[in-house]
Amino acid sequence: MAFEYKNVLIATDGSELSKKAFNRAIYIAKRDDATLVLAHVVEDQNFPKIETYLKNIYEYSQLAAEEMLNEYEKKAGEAGVKKIKKVIKFGSPKGILLEEIIPEEKIDLVVLGATGVSAVERILIGSVSESIFRYSKSDVLVIR
């Protein structure tokens, strides 16, 4: 019997490339009857540190992430994926994905877009996809 993935992670930021990666993750999860883990990490290090506004920003970010993942969940279900899980966390996407989501969800395949940030951010901090590709112990599929 051929190798099959059991837990496929689609790490999405809502960019066009992550939407393309989502479609590939659906295909693989359906093919392998795997659990599709839809994940979004809200980058919060740039949130203002003013207490009054911080709660509103976190609430808005949480709601926006939930809306996005609910839409992805609906599309995956309509495409025939039977097992779907949603994960929303706050922090550094690189760190949260590598140190929390991938090990906690026992991910054996990570699917993500090649880039979702601006060229300046990639130069200064490196892309999330590059970090996952370099340091993940799971298989990684980067979609261009």
**In the predicted structure, residue 42 carries a pLDDT above the cut 80:** yes
Q: What pLDDT band is residue 16 in, cutting at 50, 70 and 90?
A: confident
What pLDDT was estimated at residue 139? 96
Identify the CATH homologous superfamily for domain 7-143: HUPs (3.40.50.620)
pTM of the model: 0.88
The domain locations on the chain are 7-143
**In the predicted structure, residue 99 carries a pLDDT above the cut 80:** yes
> Most distant CA pair in the chain: distance in Å?
57
Go through 115-136 and write b for each residue having 16 or more CB atoms within 10 A of its CB, e for each that does not: bbbeeeeeeeeebbbebbeeeb
**In the predicted structure, residue 1 carries a pLDDT above the cut 50:** no
